[in-house]
Chains A and B, each alone.
Chain A
């Protein structure tokens, strides 16, 4: 039975197993699914940002050939489904009842026999609106004359303020600032991080199939968290959970966009339950950008108290959070501002205080999305920007200010002033490697020479700390579901394995990387272990993939499950080899007797024995499951350096070079890690210079389609340069930390810091993103630096 097995350990650039179907165009995305008798749903949406609904006339729509039904809020209300709970203890409208709260809000759901008929039906629905005063500026949401946007919850919440949240030591921080005002330096900076949208290339959608004979509801869905969605469907729709099957087939990108439950899904469920037929709903891109979960929209006031030499002491942050019309932000329930209080970053602050005021406006719901690790993008942005401002005000080099203030390697595990315990890190090592790679000192020399000639060149650094792997069940839950994750491994008699995990790839390569984890533990080939996920009928319960949690949590569960399998295999080996377990040694793929290496059994032989010659005191079979409750989060980190040149004629910023040094602990597959970093950096470039969603005074969206929402192409995107350090996580079974979101967390401020650095010599301290050519040009004009 023993054959020569090709094994791959961790750290191998193993080519991806999932590629085989994608390169052949044989992926199975939700819109690829076609079932017999399938109907199509399409949504009527409000052109107004805030209006009463006086009347909905569906009569013409019902005349359109192919249209079978038009569901309105009133129809849903009769079933108690017009409103649904959000992941943030609010409620949101499924279909508007008496009023609409944001432009493009869902008003009616047309069900038809074809995609085209459904669109015709939507065009034929007539809605009478009475426009109301609109609130788009969150700073005005609490004005005395601001309309109350959520009269539906006025008893619980009498103003447009959703919550006030604070953390840290207010008194100690205030005292530290007083001291610094007197004897040190206080640096303040206001920063606005605009609304952006994850915009995966595949939009959201579902196919819902209610089988009237079996009463089983099957939902194929663009879902990053199929189990959580199943449980929520059960609770919200009052359906028995064992009769709901959620399947995430292939997902064309998520980035947090596919975590919330959208009205389209609920309407499709209702339509399928009512008609007994499959119903497909797929949104257009315009619908996706204009109504689904956005990211950011934080108005931040940050302050640092430091001594005159630049040693930081205290950080104080106040934020106004614009959550749109419904608080549907997807984050752990105990943290309404997500993990924003990681904002002390890589630096040793003795005191810190953060508070966040969240308000409603007439905009779509959301807030936590776009590769943000639960608001870590906002946190890292503010600290990296204000550290640069501190350097600027003191006349110090931004690299020096960081090196001076980094948490030192020997201080880990490090308890931050805002109560996070960082597992491991070596920030200085990463920054010095980045500096060496770009020849930092030489660049500063070049900058000085160029400045003398009137040329504008900038160097920007970002030394970020990430916080991912949510999380320990004691503190972390999504809608009450603890944020553990899981893996089930089963080895078949002939030595091949099947594993199922509770997370859900949207391109991260789990079929390959998780197979590698098991392969490494069992000394098998990743080819011999297939990894499945996404089907709630078969996969063990998990909380899904977002916030870079898959490797830290499900990856840990996978290693642990594989180890259980190995432990059982060891018992079988002891039995077959007639020795005690303590007499056995392990080498990848094989147990052998200490001192007699030729006496051994391969994992394949042991698998076979588990079914054919199992010890009488053990259960037959060879499988294990692990539900992993992580003891802590993990803290990837890195240092990025960006070099820019500014065109004095147009204000255009050219990124000459971008060096990214990342540390995600143990690397499972360096090729996959690099791919994640390339993509994440590009999604960091995007908000820094291109993407923005904003609203005019009437609440009309700007950036609601791909003509205006500027996704970078191959031309805007630099040739990213990558390097790494490796600082394993001490508490993770394989020392891995996760990496998917690090680059999006770390990159934007490196770019902003570079542009500001290019103009620092004329007194520029900050430019809000996105850094457009005209913002830069206005500064050039103002400073007399504009040229041809």
Chain B
């Protein structure tokens, strides 16, 4: 309930934050929304020596669409995605995801960057970013590097390819092409819980209605966020009819590596990956062809 002791410093700029990470290494933790970190501290599951508070870095919080890319500042709050007209109209899959993160009060502070960088396989944005083929920007002492999202997560939970002296500063999502759409469906035991299973699906169609892009990401059914490659690939070049959808859903279920736990037996979770994938693909198709 009560954390152990630590030092605390406010970073007022990205270079300052990076310098502090460089200085303290493993002993420092970034404090963004804090709604994953502070609970860990309260149970003394983590005991960093110093917290680097980045909440005052105003220019880390933005949503900008330009040149075919949506750039999300890492400090963007989930609540911003909940209500942004840009997101609702052009990137509804991101809103599908943000509204499922924890609860509305937590979302006032929880950040998109934190949700991704914390790399909890139970977090919701990783699956969506995998489906979108997004990338993240890591800023270190020698500047920025862009990491494709598939290279960002590793095989282990809570681990990314960010270096200890790097800060995740931006998430980049390709802007939607004309006939594209996606959806995120999350099954939870109750509002505020992590997913029993979650599926993000994003597809693009050509003029004939054949699939030119398909990305499917899975939440909380493995030790890390999962991209269901076979499932997505199975849709390429085909019309997105029920047969194709079911085949992809079967492959997505096969790609899941769920454990049995208090959120359900493994077989159930696998079954839900299948069901949610069907629903997400149908919704993605609806959105790709003019629906909301």
Which of B44, B191, B262, B272 touches A713 (beta carbons < 8 Å)? B191
The reply on A410 being an interface residue by CB < 8 A is: no
Q: Give the contacts of B183-201 with A (CB-CB under 8 A).
A: 187, 189-193, 196
- Name which of B146-154, B224-232, B263-271 contacts chain A: B263-271
Answer yes or no: A785 CB below 8 A from chain B CBs: no
The stretch of A298-306, A370-378, A587-595, A771-779 in contact with B is A771-779
Contact with B190, one of A120, A286, A702, A712 (Cβ below 8 angstroms): A712
How big is chain B's contact interface, by range?
20 to 34
Tell me, in angstroms, the Cα distance from A690 to B4 when the chains sit together.
Answer: 33
- A702, A716, A788: the one contacting B275 at CB < 8 Å is A788
Neighbouring B residues of A715 by C-beta, 8 Å:
190-191
> Are A650's CB and B272's CB within 8 A?
yes
- Contact residues in A for B272 (Cβ distance below 8 Å): 650
B265 to chain A, nearest CB (A): 6
B2 touching A119 by the CB < 8 A rule? yes
Taking the closest CB of chain B, its distance from the CB of A777, in whole angstroms, is 6
Contact check: which of A123, A772, A777, A788 meets B44 at CB < 8 Å?
A123
Q: Which residues of A contact B264 (CB under 8 A)?
A: 772-774
A116 in the interface (beta carbon within 8 A): yes
Collect the chain B residues with CB atoms within 8 Å of residue A284's CB. 1
- Map CB proximity to A onto B261-292 as digits: 1 under 8 Å, 0 otherwise: 01011001001100100110000000000000
A788 touches B191 (CB 8 A): no
Check A649 for interface membership: any CB of B closer than 8 A. yes
Asked if residues A690 and B2 are in contact (CB atoms below 8 Å), the reply is: no
- Complex contact B4–A716 (CB within 8 A): no
Chain B residue at minimum C-beta to C-beta distance from A114: B2
List A contacts of B196 (CB < 8 A).
Answer: 773
CB-defined interface of B196-217 with A at 8 Å, one 1/0 digit per residue? Answer: 1000000000000000000000
Q: Is the CB of B193 within 8 A of A707?
A: yes
- Whether B190 pairs with A690 at a CB distance below 8 angstroms is yes
Is A17 at the interface (CB under 8 A from chain B)?
no
- The answer to whether A690 touches B187, judged by C-beta atoms less than 8 angstroms apart, is no
What is the CA–CA distance of A652 and B268 in the complex, to the nearest angstrom? 12
Contact A788 B192 (CB under 8 A): no
In the complex, what distance in Å separates the CA atom of A786 from the CA atom of B4? 49
A690 touches B189 (CB 8 A): yes
Contact present for B268 and A777 (CB under 8 Å)? yes
Distance (whole angstroms) from the CB of A748 to the closest CB of chain B: 17
Which residues of B, 13-69, contact A by the 8 Å Cβ criterion? 44
Is A708 positioned at the interface, with any CB of B under 8 Å from its CB?
yes
Tell me the A759-788 residues at the B interface (CB within 8 Å): 772-774, 777-778, 781, 786, 788
Contact B262 A650 (CB under 8 A): no
Shortest CB distance A627–B (Å): 42
Closest A residue by C-beta to B44: A123
Which B residues touch A438, using CB under 8 A? none
Which residues from chain B contact A777 at a C-beta distance below 8 Å? 268, 271
B118 smallest CB distance to A (angstroms): 16
Q: What A residues does B103 contact at CB under 8 A? A: 713
Residues of B within 8 A of A123 (CB): 4, 44
- Quick one: CB contact mask for A681-725 with B, threshold 8 Å, 1 for yes? 000000000100000000000110001101011011000000000
Task: Report A280 CB to chain B, min CB distance, Å.
Answer: 14
Q: Which residue of B lies closest to A711 (CB)?
A: B190
| Residues A788 and B279 in contact, CB atoms below 8 Å apart | yes
| Residues A115 and B279 in contact in the complex (CB < 8 Å), given A650-B187, A773-B187 | no
- In the complex, A569 Cα to B103 Cα: how many Å? 58
Contacts A119-B1, A123-B4, A649-B279 given: A778-B192 contact, CB under 8 Å? no
Asked whether A713 and B275 contact (CB < 8 A) given A119-B1, A650-B187, A774-B268, the answer is no
CB closest chain-B residue, reference A778: B268
Measured between beta carbons, the chain A residues less than 8 angstroms from B279 are 649, 788
A621-673, CB < 8 A from B: 649-652
Task: Name the CB-closest residue of B to A712.
Answer: B190
A774 with B265: in contact, given A690-B190, A707-B193, A710-B190 (CB under 8 Å)?
yes
Using Cβ atoms and an 8 Å threshold, which residues of chain B touch A774?
264-265, 268
CB pair A788–B2 under 8 Å, yes or no, is no
Give 15 A-B contacts (CB < 8 Å), ordered by A residue.
A119-B2, A120-B4, A123-B4, A650-B272, A652-B187, A702-B262, A708-B262, A710-B189, A713-B191, A715-B191, A716-B190, A774-B264, A777-B268, A778-B268, A781-B271
A-contacting residues of B (Cβ < 8 Å)? 1-2, 4, 44, 103, 187, 189-193, 196, 262, 264-265, 268, 271-272, 275, 278-279
Known contacts A652-B187, A715-B191; 20 further A-B pairs (Cβ under 8 A): A115-B2, A116-B2, A120-B2, A120-B4, A123-B4, A649-B279, A690-B190, A707-B193, A708-B262, A710-B189, A710-B190, A713-B103, A713-B191, A715-B190, A716-B191, A772-B189, A773-B264, A778-B268, A781-B271, A786-B271
Q: A: which residues have CB within 8 A of B?
A: 115-116, 119-120, 123, 284, 286, 649-652, 690, 702-703, 707-708, 710, 712-713, 715-716, 772-774, 777-778, 781, 786, 788
Q: List the 7 shortest-distance A-B pairs measured between CB atoms, nearest first.
A: A119-B2, A774-B268, A284-B1, A649-B275, A715-B191, A774-B264, A713-B191
